[in-house]
Structure 1
Amino acid sequence: MKAWKPLWRWLAASTGLVVLVAVAIVVLGPGSGGASTGARSPGEARSTAAGKTPSSTAAPVDQEALVNRMLDQIRAGKPVEPQFAAGDNPAAGAPIEAIKAKPGEELRLGQLSIPRLRVSEPLNNGVDEAALVHGVGHWPGTPLPGSRGNSVVSGHRSTHDKPFLYLDKLRPGDPIVATVGSKRTTYRVVKTTIVPQAEYVKFILRQPADAGAKVITLFACNPITAHYQRIVVQARAD
């Protein structure tokens, strides 16, 4: 029996080692041993749990296909899909009938200039992607710039020509000039407001208490890298 004792000790030690290795694999996961692999950050862990690939390996987005799908949804009267709501789409969360102008209406309405920002952009009809690719867009159903009431204009901050990138730099009294046809109207900035996405539609579409007032409202996504709010600049005609 004395001869068997060393053997039993060896088996016990080997079994303990196997158990420790198994526990380490379960706790740490495969590929987690060694400095070369590194530990996952909390953000990476959340992405993996949600079934998402890290941004460095994500497949490129087919922007043309997404735009075409969005237009199909607009024509069908459906909400804009989440991919656009998460991106630089100022009109995300808006009723579909308010986004796109009626078929057959001329896209180009005039020009919008903001001297402080050195911005001079085509003013187009509608706030869908077709209207905002080159220029800024007039919200269908609101008065045209130069008319009485509140004219609403949308633009991108981080895609395409980025006309409203520095909208936050505007100060009270700064001029905004809108030209529609031969009519040129100069507005002066009154205030800038940050509004949650869920509340911005009602906020920007409010008409002035004074029925004779001429107001223009510019809005875009905010913050530039997150887009869960809207930055809204309101101005009154001289």
Structure 2
Amino acid sequence: MSPVQRQLMAALDALDQAFASEEPFPVAGCTHCYAEKDLADLSGPLHLIPDDLVSAVAAEVPSHWDDFPRLYRRLVPRIVRPVVMGQFHVDEELIATRLLQAGWTTWDASLTGALSNVWSAWWEATLHTHPSPVPIRETLSLIGVATDGLRPWLNIWTATPHPAADAHLADLIDDVMFESEITDLHMGFHDEYHATPELLRWLLTDVRDRADDARLDSPFLHEHRPAAQHTD
């Protein structure tokens, strides 16, 4: 196992430990969609909740639960670990949207810190592994939407001169250049995050010399390039 993979596993183990403080509670929700046994399972020990039920809750709309934020918070270790490993059959952008709806950035510092550490370790492991368990666009979308910003993650990518990082770059360009999606690219399950301003400028400036793709020289793209942001 590589050092970045070990760091990721350590971050996931730390996530489990941090969220172990989330005690079971009586879960109430939509009895049209969930049987009494489902609600009982969700109210019991975390490790005994069936995988398919975890997946169902991870994708479900918040209005189906009496206390959605608490339920989603408690399930985070059962959701995030398989997501990172590429073993969770729920759209990554939907996971990001549900985390925002659960207000994850307002949770106790020990919980948000543990989750933030997973984002960082996952990103580092992804940039050093190609192919990765989760495609680069989906990983960037989940982390970027969940943290409300692509630029910090793009900066890490810029500072990672690794063959895997460059292979991911080629993959991302192929993805977002299809039908010029990059000129109006939104992320998040409900397209809540407009990614074009940060991502297009990054592609045309910061990593242009690492991308052997003439499509990035298209005048059409440069017409959509956002102006540089000035800070005092």
How would you bin the TM-score normalised by the shorter chain?
under 0.3
Greater radius of gyration (CA): 1
TM-score (ref. length: structure 2): 0.26
